[in-house]
Structure 1
Amino acid sequence: MRPIDHVVLPFPDLPSARSRLEALGFTVAPDAVHPFGTGNACVFFADGAYLEPLAVVDHGAYGDALGEGNLFVQHDAAFRSANPLPAFSGLALRSDDALVDRDTLAEHGLGEDGVVEFSRDLVSPDGTSATLSFRLTFARSPADFGATLFFCQKLHRMAPDRAALTCHPNGVTGLSRIVLVGEVSPATRLLLESASGVLPTAEGAGTLRLALAESALEIVTDDIAAERYGSCRKDGRGLVIAGIVLSVTDLVATRAAVGSAVLSDQPGRLTVPLDAGGSAFITFEETPA
C-alpha cells in the first residue's frame, strides 16, 4: 500500500499559519522557502507523514515560476484564486520513482506533463541545517475534484532527525485519514484508484474508504460530514479535501491543549475548525496507545 507523504494547506501567510497551528497545540517547524516563491512551516508526525501549511513568501519568484509553467505554482495559484483560505489544496503520495508513477497515470490519460525538481534547506530546532531535494509529478485532476494529487519522491539520501518536531503538546501521534467530502464522479474515482493502487470499499451508506499504508482516504457525503465532524460546506459541488483526522492517545489532554475553538465534540473524537469562517477542519481521534 502506498503511504501518504503530506497534505498541502495554503494559508494567506506563514505567520497566521504558525499562530493558528500553535494555538491548536502543534509543534511547528521553522519556516522554509522554496526556490519558486512559496514557503512552508510544516507540522511533522511521528508516523512519517506531515502537514504542509503553504504561503507565498516571494511574489517575484512566484510570478516568474508561474510564467515558466511550474506545475506546483500553477496549481497553488489556481487554488488560491478560487477558494477562501486556509483550506486543503493537495495530497502528496510518497513515491520511489515519481516519473514511473506519472507515466502510469498517463496510461489512463491522468498524468500531467512536466516535472518539478527542487532543493531547500531544513533548519532543525537546535539550529543545524541540511539540504533536502525532491521530485514532484502531478495527476491531471477532473474538473469536479477540488484538489491536486501528486507524487513526491525524495532525492536526498540523508534522513533528517525530526524527532523533536514530532512531539506535539496536543498529543498527536500520526495521520489516521484524509476526509474527502462530496460526490465522486467516475473520473475522480478512476484518478484515486489509479494513483493509490487500491479500490475503494463501502463502509455503510455514504462512506467509501481507500486503505493506504498507515492511513486512509475517507470519502463521505455532506450529511455524514456534518454528523461526524460538524463540518458543513458552503459549496456542495464536486469532491474536496475537507479535513484530516489525527491520532491521539489521550483526548482529555488534547482537549485541554486546543482550547475553546471546537467545531464538534463527540465521544472519542474532537474536531476543530481551521478558520472561524471556513469549513476546513482537523479532527483528533483517540486510539489505544
Structure 2
Amino acid sequence: MTMRAIDHLVLSFDDLVTARERLGALRFTVAPDAVHPFGTGNACVFLADGVYLEPLAVVDAAAQAEALAAGNFFVARDAAFRAEQDLPGFSGLAFRSADALGDRDALTAQDLGEPATVDFSRTFRQSDGAGATLSFRLAFARLLPGFVASLFFCEARHSVAPDRSALARHANGAKGLLRIVLVGTVDEETRRLLETITGSALTSDGSGGATLASANVVLEFLTPSLAQARYGAAAVDDRLRLAGMVLAVTDLDQARAALAPDGVTERDGRIVATLGSASTPFIAFEERPS
C-alpha cells in the first residue's frame, strides 16, 4: 500500500484576528486572510516543506448558515467542533489526494468513508499582487466517537502553482513539520481508519507511546502522562485528539530569541509554545540540521 502524505492541519479559532495575533507573536509569517464561499475563512501559515497550518474561523455567519442547511460537510464538522470543544483547537487533518473521489470510494467500501464531497474555489493573492483561482475537492472519512478530529482528503484541482516562497520564511526559523502529536486512547476502529488512510502500521515506540508514519510526517501517539512529560500537554478526556505539532528549525537559538516568553517553555531540548489558555493546542520547535 502506498503511504499517504499530510497536506495540512486545521486549527479552529474564534476569529482570524486572534489567530493572526497569536501566530504572529510566535513570529510566523501569516498569509493574508482568505475567504471560502461557504462562510469560513483562513489565515494560513505555510512551511517550506509544502505542509501548512490552516487557522480557521467563521467570517460570514449568513453564508455559513446556508452551507450548514445545504449539508456542507466541511462547515458542519467545523461547526460541531466549535460547539463541543474549547478554542483554539486542532479540528482536522487533511491528507493529499490526486483523486478525492477514488479515495472516498475506497474508504466507503470499508465502511470508513462518507459519500458527500465538497468542491470549491477561491482567489489567492500572490506576492506580486496578481490573483489566481485555486480549486479544491474534499472527501471525508467517517467521524468516530473515540477520535475528536475530522480526517479528510484534499485534492488540488488547479493547474497554477502559487509562489509561496516569501510566506514560507519565518522569523522563528520554522522549516517543516516533523511530527503531529495525538493524545488519548487509540481504539480499534480509529487505528483501522488511520492505518488505512496513511498506508502504514501503528507501531510501539518502546516508551509506552506509538508512532504511525505518513509519507512526509510522523504521527506520535501518547498517553496523557507521556504527553505531559514531553510537551507539558494535558489530556481533556480519554478520547484521542490532535494536541500539537512539532516543527523543525535549523537553529534553536534563533527560535528562542524570536519567541516571546509568554506561553513558551523548554522541555528536553525543544521549545513548546501554547496557543491558548490551556496546555493544548501547542506548537513545538526542535533543532534539525539543514
Q: Same fold judged by TM-score > 0.5?
A: yes
Give TM-score scaled by structure 1 length.
Answer: 0.97
1:165 partner SS: coil
Q: Give the AA of the match of 2:163.
A: D
* Cα deviation code 1:227-273 (max 9, x no counterpart): 0001112x222100000011001111101111102453024311010
Output aligned runs, 1:59-98, within 5 Å.
59-98=61-100
Q: Does 1:57 align with 2:86?
A: no
Q: Does 1:112 align with 2:114?
A: yes
Q: Does 1:249 align with 2:233?
A: no
In the alignment, which residue of structure 2 is the partner of 1:182? 184
Distance 1:126 1:158 in 2: 15
- 1:212 is displaced (CA, Å) by 1.3
Distance 2:45 2:227 in 1: 24
Q: Does 1:217 align with 2:219?
A: yes
Output aligned runs, 1:151-170, within 5 Å.
151-170=153-172
- 1:108 is displaced (CA, Å) by 1.5
Match 2:140 to one of 124, 138, 141:
138
Distance 2:126 2:24 in 1: 17
2:186 partner SS: coil
Q: Give the AA of the match of 1:168.
A: H
Q: Give the AA of the match of 1:279.
A: T
In the alignment, which residue of structure 1 is the partner of 2:127? 125
1:74 partner SS: helix
CA RMSD between the two structures: 1.1
Q: Give the AA of the match of 2:28.
A: F
Q: 8 Å contact 2:230–2:268 — kept in the other structure? A: no
% identity of equivalent residues: 55
Q: 8 Å contact 1:230–1:263 — kept in the other structure? A: no
Q: Does 1:40 align with 2:30?
A: no
Q: Does 1:270 align with 2:285?
A: no
> How many residues get paired?
288
Distance 1:48 1:277 in 2: 29
Q: 8 Å contact 1:209–1:217 — kept in the other structure? A: yes
Q: 8 Å contact 2:199–2:214 — kept in the other structure? A: no
Distance 1:107 1:226 in 2: 38
Distance 1:263 1:181 in 2: 20
Q: 8 Å contact 1:222–1:236 — kept in the other structure? A: no
Q: 8 Å contact 1:231–1:263 — kept in the other structure? A: no
* Cα deviation code 1:12-48 (max 9, x no counterpart): 0001100100100100000000000000000000000
Q: 8 Å contact 1:134–1:155 — kept in the other structure? A: yes
Distance 2:264 2:243 in 1: 13
Q: Give the AA of the match of 1:101.
A: D
Q: 8 Å contact 1:30–1:124 — kept in the other structure? A: no
Q: 8 Å contact 2:234–2:279 — kept in the other structure? A: no
In the alignment, which residue of structure 2 is the partner of 1:150? 152
Distance 2:96 2:134 in 1: 15
1:89 partner SS: strand
- 1:278 is displaced (CA, Å) by 5.0
Q: 8 Å contact 2:10–2:92 — kept in the other structure? A: yes
